[in-house]
Structure 1
């Protein structure tokens, strides 16, 4: 939501509330003027507070975005380094497993050939 849309809605709501109070109050004119003046002063303070909060939020988001732009590449590099280190540390196990798999495949081929030869003899 844009800040200008929010502020426009807030102002419109305030004006509507003020008009409703003017028509439904049993106060005298001077009392109403005093009330309206007090309410408008209060609304100005509240609007200034809202503006301040929006400014703080904007600054916070800007700061967080800047930090993220700096930290994300570092994190990616760290993750890449960790993956490369893991790959190097598991390379010997990978080679050992590949040799065992080849040995098992050779044994299976020999076994199949032996079974095939025995079936031909029988």
Structure 2
């Protein structure tokens, strides 16, 4: 469905509905005009409210964007520093564990040789 056909149908339907309402309403012409004027005024106030809220939302998004641009690099830098500190603090344990694993592997190799020698 093309957008132009949809818009044509929407406009035609809106005009038809407006004419039908105007001819079938029990109010007089001046009452209808007054009602339409009041509805128009209310709609304008609501539109201004929506514009104000959209403006507030834009301001909030701009403020959040600025904060994110400032805070995220700091947080990344702090996290990198924490990871580096953790790596340095675990380096001693890593070396100790590597030595213990090497000693266990050596012991296992000696044990295998001893068992092989006893079986002969």
Task: Answer whether TM exceeds 0.5 for this pair.
Answer: yes
- 1:91 matched to which residue of 2? 91
CA distance, structure 2, for counterparts of residue 83 and residue 42 of structure 1: 59
Q: Which has the higher contact order (CA 8 A, sep 6+)?
A: 1
Mark the CA change 1:88 to 1:118 in structure 2 (over 3 Å): closer, same or farther: same
TM-score of the superposed pair, with normalisation by structure 1: 0.80
CA distance, structure 2, for counterparts of residue 108 and residue 52 of structure 1: 77
Unaligned runs of 5+ in 1: 1-11
May I ask how many residue pairs the two structures share in their alignment?
Answer: 106
Q: Deviations over 1:71-95 (max 9, x none)?
A: 0000000000000111111111111
Query: Is the counterpart of residue 26 in structure 1 residue 32 in structure 2?
Result: no
- 1:45 matched to which residue of 2? 45
SS at 2:26's partner residue?
Answer: coil
Unaligned runs of 5+ in 2: 1-9
Q: Deviations over 1:46-71 (max 9, x none)?
A: 01111111111111111101110110
- 2:112 matched to which residue of 1? 112
TM-score of the superposed pair, with normalisation by structure 2: 0.81
Mark the CA change 1:23 to 1:94 in structure 2 (over 3 Å): closer, same or farther: farther
Give the CA RMSD over aligned residues: 1.9
- 1:7 matched to which residue of 2? none
Runs of 4+ in 1 over 2 A off after TM superposition: 18-25
CA distance, structure 2, for counterparts of residue 49 and residue 109 of structure 1: 82
CA distance, structure 2, for counterparts of residue 24 and residue 48 of structure 1: 32
